[in-house]
Chain A
């Protein structure tokens, strides 16, 4: 079991944002967490991805001081929730997956209550709540009862609840689920702004391309274990590029003359005539640009040119990491 350390902007800080050491937790005969080792440096956004039931939520519950591990421990900015849960709760905001809310209260009352529960006095709570209502575009809904909110609006309220005590660490479990595209972009901007302000964010999601735009790092979990971790800001070794041409044989000839390996992309409907697509491995974006110039110089009729995996690098990484585990 290797310690998966992902370097980030604030890696120089001695205390990591989040740590897990040899973390195991079983529910009956289900091993939700199986010797998880993880270090999330302070600051930045880390994605936690993995198939359903892989232990993401359990890991987040342990971090949020709600669940005790069977073995191992976690630290939130150096504080162990098993020893000082209140200390952890002061530092960490947690947004659960599929949470409910105090349905009879208005949005503003919910946030004021949560602020009070976090120990903020009325004087501190009021401006903070108004600020959050504004940041998360909840001000038109502030005096509506929470039960009439749509799913997406409830997600935004959940994020506001998690942020009400200005935590230095945010643990967000599926924050983008149920959000419309506009709200997703706003969530991304909110999270990026928080990270820019030095907040450590751990966010889980199934929507990988959303995470890719939001995250600096990614940790892949499968079957209760961390199976991969990547720095998304660093360039990967090889990128798979897809080239579509109106004349696939001309494309193949130019590539073969240069000794560039290419793999055929099966056409979806069987017969594309002369049209076709080939996948080519390139080192980086500059390499891809050189390839495009080459093809254009040779009058290859190119009509598509871009990354082969539609979901981007994170999806490719996720698929390869979970596939290795399965095989």
Chain B
């Protein structure tokens, strides 16, 4: 006790009124202890009050139900194919359900505390707004991590069967974890922004749904607007004499996806799919990998329509064709990954949301939203 008292005494308690004073003079160790304290408080509160084990049980049933369905659906496949399918499905199920469950962890975190009258009692302590918000974020993220952990055995299985390399499995888990943290941060910002818990829940789900669905819908709606008519060289089969592949000039509509592809970039599904390293090229690989498909699609969308002649003879014959369009696979490789941009956008969103939440938890309060009582 004496040590703490001594430290308290060092601070000027009645110094000159206008002397510059430290707003946050806290060491990183003190701040980290404070963040841990808030996180521990949040976790204890949540684990003891809410029906979290019910939610977790539902989560386990949902994830493994889908995995089981996938297992039966691939009963005819090789173990490699099965591994790929299970890996992709699990990743999507975890992300999809995470999109539904995780925002609820933080959507009423700050305004709920204010409603219960416990926020102000913490605000009058040495805890700063950043420590409060980061503590809450850490607690929510830890719970979200629990949901992620539930799915981990599936990844282990795909690793064991050798269908998916360790890098790919780990990459998916990491990117998933970052996405979940971003959802948590969005919920925190909404709960700090609005006074009523109902509003913040709706707002959080709108924001998260906006990322997952609205980006795709917008992309789909804007796609026809990118169409441009151009003359294209096309290798095509002639009708008259049959079976001859000739080069013709045709009027074609090109979709300039490179103008709207960025709408897809911050979509969490796209980020997760594109971040997972591609499967090793395997001649016998015939299993449909949805992650790979999304990744290829977005990368192609990014570079837009192919230049050069189009091959519409689709013949396997080794006919010499001048100026032939480059193969998709080569073009995808040239396009480069989309996920760093998408993940960057998501992280930016998460950091921005956290900053908003911190700003709105700062005291003394200058402007109060309508109907908010501080205590």
Contact = CB atoms under 8 A, between A and B. Distances in A.
Interface stretch (A64-72, A182-190, A204-212): A64-72
Contact of B374 (A61, A78, A105): A61
B30 A119 contact: yes
A109 interface: yes
Interface string B28-68: 00100110011001001100110000000000000000000
A78 B124 CA distance: 17
B17 interface: yes
A114 interface: yes
A79 B76 CA distance: 76
Contacts of A256: none
Interface string A105-133: 10001000110111111011001100000
A78 B19 CA distance: 11
Interface in A69-125: 75, 77-87, 89-92, 94, 96-105, 109, 113-114, 116-121, 123-124
B124 A94 contact: yes
Nearest to A16: B14
B13 A78 contact: yes
A34 B97 CA distance: 53
A64 to B, nearest CB: 5
A77 B4 contact: no
B362 to A, nearest CB: 9
A66 B364 CA distance: 4
Contacts of A67: 363-365, 374
Given A66-B375, A90-B126, A101 B13 contact: no
B13 A77 contact: yes
Contacts of B375: 57, 61, 66, 96-99
A79 B117 CA distance: 26
B366 interface: yes
A284 to B, nearest CB: 38
B319 interface: no
Nearest to A121: B4
A104 B1 CA distance: 28
Given A65-B124, A119-B126, A100 B48 contact: no
B124 A89 contact: yes
A127 B22 contact: no
Nearest to A78: B14
B100 interface: no
A87 B124 CA distance: 11
Contacts of A127: 1
Given A67-B365, A78-B17, A113-B41, A98 B117 contact: yes
A65 B24 contact: no
B118 A113 contact: no
A227 B375 CA distance: 25
Interface in A22-72: 27-28, 57, 61-62, 64-68
A68 B364 contact: yes
B37 A116 contact: yes
A62 B366 CA distance: 11
**From A83, A97, A98, A168, residue with most partner B Cβ within 10 Å:** A83
B126 A117 contact: yes
Interface of B: 1, 3-5, 8, 11-15, 17-18, 21-25, 30, 33-34, 37-38, 41, 44-45, 48-49, 116-118, 120-128, 363-366, 368, 370, 374-375
Nearest first, the 10 closest Cβ-Cβ pairs linking A and B are A100-B117, A78-B14, A104-B48, A84-B21, A117-B125, A100-B116, A124-B1, A96-B375, A68-B364, A124-B4
Given A67-B374, A104-B48, 17 more contacts: A61-B374, A64-B124, A67-B363, A68-B365, A77-B13, A79-B15, A85-B363, A85-B364, A89-B124, A99-B375, A101-B118, A104-B44, A117-B38, A119-B30, A121-B3, A124-B3, A128-B1
11 contacts: A66-B365, A67-B364, A77-B14, A79-B13, A91-B13, A99-B375, A102-B41, A116-B33, A119-B34, A123-B1, A124-B5
